[in-house]
Amino acid sequence: MTTIFAHRGFHLTEPENSMAAFAAAIKMKAEGIETDVHLTKDQVPVIMHDESLKRMTGDPRYVNDLTLSQLKELHLENSSEQIPTLFEFLSYLKEVDYPGILNLEIKTDKIHYPEIEEITLKVIQQVNVDCRVIFSSFYAPTLIKLHSMGNFECAYLFKFSDREALKLLQAGVVQSLHPRYHYALRDQAFPVRAWTINRPLQMSKCFAKGLAGIFTDELELAFQIRDNKKVI
């Protein structure tokens, strides 16, 4: 059965990638949670999608321009929610004994954070989170580095057909692909999880194709369609 991932948590009612969004996703029984990791100026892994803070906080600076204490002064979308650290997020998953899959996108495609892979792994080991973890990235060197560091489950993110994807699969660096919708519908001999699937017809086709997973902002709709509670 296709696994349904909450893309950046459930953020139709809460700020994306906030603790409230993750709590909402778990309450809605999301089978997977997808989120994004950057590094602060003082090398702390935090949860944020964009490199820039502008869209979510109004601050024009970048995540890696600020220390963690400076980031904690900001609020997400004029709410009381702050930018979570990876440690805070993983500790919460462990506290609630989250049974699903965690997809951590390492955001190195635009800013190549030094040692983000090692720092992220250290936090995961520190928390000793119980759920299954998949690492994904648009940046192949990050996946190659993770592969060299241990037997981690990795997935390559890309927008269009990409020769790099097949190279990484053949080399055993990644075990699955995370492409955009149109590429995902091709016949594949490996696990595919598609993003970002919010339209009913797209969902229906992904489920019919038997994809390994989809990343969606529309959790309730995805469950209704997959479980045949809503007719397209």
Q: Which of 7, 11, 147, 178 is catalytic?
A: 7
**Residue 27: CA atoms inside 13 Å, Cβ hemisphere, count?**
10
Q: Which tokens is 111 given?
A: 């800013």
Tens-digit pLDDT profile for the chain (232 aa)?
Answer: 999 999 999 999 999 999 999 999 999 999 999 999 999 999 999 999 999 999 999 999 999 999 999 999 999 999 999 999 999 999 999 999 999 999 999 999 999 999 999 999 999 999 999 999 999 999 999 999 999 999 899 999 999 877 899 999 999 999 999 999 988 888 888 999 999 999 999 999 999 999 999 999 999 999 999 999 766 6
- Please tell me the distance from the alpha carbon of residue 216 to that of residue 100, in angstroms, as a whole number: 15
* Dihedral, 45, 49, 51, 53 alpha carbons, nearest 10: -100
Q: What is the pTM of this model?
A: 0.96
Catalytic (active site) residue 49: yes
- Please tell me the distance from the alpha carbon of residue 170 to that of residue 185, in angstroms, as a whole number: 20
Q: Which of 11, 38, 49, 178 is catalytic?
A: 49
At residue 123, what are phi and psi to the nearest 5 degrees?
-65, -40
Catalytic (active site) residue 75: no
pLDDT at 232: 65
- Please tell me the distance from the alpha carbon of residue 40 to that of residue 63, in angstroms, as a whole number: 6
Burial class (CB in 10 A: 0-12, 13-18, 19+), 10: buried
Domains recognised in the chain with CATH numbers: 3-226 (3.20.20.190)
Measured CA angle at 104 (ends 81, 137), to 5 deg: 125
